[in-house]
Amino acid sequence: MRAVQYRTIGGEPEVVDVPTPEPGPGQVRLRVTAAGLCHSDAFVMGLSAEQFTYGLPLTLGHEGAGVVDALGDGATGVEVGEPVAVYGPWGCGVCHACAQGAENYCPRAAELGIQPPGLGGPGALAEYLIVDDVRHLVPLGDLDPVATVSLTDAGLTPYHAVVSSLGALPAGSTAVVIGAGGLGHVGIQILRAITGATVIALDISEEKLKLAREVGAHRALLSDVSAVAEIRKLTGGVGAQVVFDFVGAPPTLEIARKSVALNGVIQIVGIGGGLLSTGFFSTPMGASVRVPYWGTRSELMEVLDLARAGAIHVEVERYGLDQAPEAYRKLHDGEVRGRAVVVPYS
């Protein structure tokens, strides 16, 4: 089968031929219908040899959807031919966190060598994908896999962040979204769908600001030093009850720190290399800072239900498998509008 692999440190991803994998006991093989490209892939491919802890070659793609193609011995609960989305942050399945569906916070995954597809394990940017357990599949039903595959990360991750600060976002509150890219443009829609907050979006690109307005941001501002004063002005001096930073770089964390309200929340979602100093006289009194990671299994079901209800969607740029390296270049250069999605059989 064809697969998109990261093969050498610092190199470009390559489209290569690899053996089609067979599902082992309890595993499920999917014929991939769609796979999304995330900025975290660009982050991983930017790591030096010392920082890179995964094995090479690495088949990329941690947003996956497919049709059940073959069942390993003992795998039950899905039918061959069934369309499914993949829950990516795989955990052990038996610990307290996993029992709550929060496999994204499984404390045993690392020691057991369990790695998400595309982030250590073979990923979804291929014609076939092996999923380790039926519980990591969610039925797609009538949802279009190309339009919805990115909800498994670009939808689930902001949803998890928003839900964890839902109590801070009643009517009359303000949420700031920094970075209206893949995650951010879905995050804006989630905020509009499930909270009463006024949404202020920030980006460095005028086109992304236009996209932010189109998907529901009340205000869209250039992400520079003037943004803080503007957020204060728009909130009557109070600041934002929650700041979602989908960039996480030093300048955006500084905007987050200066624009969050007393008793507010900063959610650092982006892996942009920044560190935020918290404490008295740095962050406002009562403020908390979180670094949320991906989301829970039941939250993925809820995100798909929001899409089913027409409340959220993903702006998709569609590519063939052979065009994946080109799509990654565009992502790296900030030129993707919404999410780039690879369709292996097109």
Rounded to whole angstroms, the Cα distance separating 102 from 297 reads 7
Q: Are residues 278 and 289 in contact, defined by beta-carbon separation less than 8 angstroms? A: yes
Shorter beta-carbon distance to ligand NAD: residue 23 or 187:
187
Nearer of residues 20 and 205 to ligand NAD, judged by Cβ: 205
In the list Zn ion, ligand NAD, none, the entry touching 205 (Cβ below 5 to 8 angstroms by class) is ligand NAD
Task: Please name the amino acid found at residue 288.
Answer: S
Select from 83-91, 184-192, 220-228, 264-272 the region that touches Zn ion (CB under 5 A).
Answer: 83-91
Query: Is residue 38 within the footprint of Zn ion (CB under 5 A)?
Result: yes
In the complex, least distance from residue 307 CB atom to ligand NAD, rounded to whole angstroms? 17
Nearer to ligand NAD, 28 or 269 (CB): 269
Q: Are 243 and 221 in contact (CB under 8 A)?
A: no
Binding to Zn ion by CB under 5 A, coded x per residue (else -) over 127-166, reads: --------------------------x-------------
Peptide bond into 57 cis (omega under 30): yes
Contact between 92 and Zn ion (CB under 5 A)?
yes
Residue 183 contact, options ligand NAD, Zn ion, none, Cβ 5-8 Å cut-off depending on partner type: ligand NAD
Dihedral Cα 231, 234, 237, 242, nearest 10 deg: -50
> What pairs with residue 240 in β-bridges?
260
Which one of residues 91, 155, 179, 264 is an interface residue with Zn ion (CB under 5 A)?
Answer: 91
Which CB sits closer to ligand NAD, 123 or 182?
Answer: 182
- Which residues make Cβ contacts (< 8 Å) with residue 243, sequence separation at least 6? 175, 176, 178, 255, 256, 259, 260, 264, 265, 266, 267
Nearer to ligand NAD, 157 or 189 (CB): 157
Minimum distance of ligand NAD from residue 68's CB (angstroms) = 26
**Which segments of 30-181 does DSSP mark as H helices, in order?**
39-45, 96-99, 145-148, 156-164
Q: What are phi and psi of 203, to 5 degrees?
A: -155, 165
Where does this chain bind ligand NAD (CB under 6 A)? 38-40, 43, 153, 157, 178-184, 202-205, 208, 223, 246-249, 251-252, 269-272, 292-294, 331, 334, 336
Q: Of ligand NAD, Zn ion, none, which one sits near residue 272, judging by CB under 5 to 8 A according to partner kind?
A: ligand NAD
- Residue burial 77-100, b: 16+ Cβ < 10 Å; e: rest: ebeeebbbbbbbbbbebebebbee
Q: Which does 41 bind (CB under 5 to 8 A by kind): Zn ion, ligand NAD, none?
A: none
Least Å distance, CB 309 to Zn ion, is: 24
Sequence-ordered list of residues with C-beta below 8 angstroms from that of 49, at least 6 positions apart, any chain: 9
Q: Give contact residues for Zn ion (rule: CB under 5 A).
A: 38, 40, 91-92, 95, 98, 106, 108, 153
